[in-house]
A and B are shown apart, each in its own frame.
Chain A
């Protein structure tokens, strides 16, 4: 059974601090996706990582992929309140059948 695990599940961090969310998956996949979901809203694509060693950055968020370790990280730099949301990673090993992690609920506090 394919598993996608994220940790932590809940994260409360102070503004200005750095932190990393981890995404482990149990099958071979050369691409990984990160999404953001605000409360009561739909999912929005953040990053598409297409190969081993891929790194993408957007503002205070940086995502990386290690396909050999089956691990992706989402690093948050100098957190601000606007980053409060739930973050999901997903893999599609057989192309267009996506498997999602359970999500990391991030709260940034002043």
Chain B
């Protein structure tokens, strides 16, 4: 099992550009989440999904979109990148009531 995979590992964008961060899991987990991690802020939930076709907003959803067309994939879209979105992004998945398994992260810089 590969667990949770994320691509790319690093990305530099210019303000206003759009991009998609990819996340996939091979553990047949129902639940998937996207977090951003900023210094001194811990992890903040952006969006989450409780199954294919079902997504919901977390604590900091503005500027991000998600979709969940399959159990395995949960991409995060930045619509128009801003410097405030410079962060490390983690995708995670979990089975019902279990701990979360995290991907390796994507380090994003917006200039």
Contact = CB atoms under 8 A, between A and B. Distances in A.
Contacts of B30: 96
Contact of B45 (A33, A41, A97): A97
Interface residues of A, number: 20
B1 interface: no
Nearest to A4: B42
Contacts of A31: 97
A74 B92 CA distance: 23
A102 B42 contact: yes
Interface stretch (B19-27, B73-81, B98-106): B98-106
A48 interface: yes
Nearest to A42: B102
A68 interface: no
Interface in B12-58: 30-31, 33, 35, 40-45, 48, 50, 56, 58
A99 B45 contact: yes
Contact of B100 (A33, A95, A102): A33
A45 B97 contact: no
Interface in A52-110: 88, 90, 95-103
Contacts of B43: 43, 88, 90, 100
B35 to A, nearest CB: 8
Nearest to B41: A102
B42 A45 contact: no
A100 B99 contact: no
Contacts of B99: 33, 45, 48
Nearest to A96: B31
A41 B97 CA distance: 24
A56 B32 CA distance: 26
5 contacts: A48-B98, A90-B100, A96-B97, A101-B42, A102-B40
Given A41-B104, A48-B99, A102-B41, 5 more contacts: A96-B94, A97-B58, A98-B33, A100-B42, A102-B42
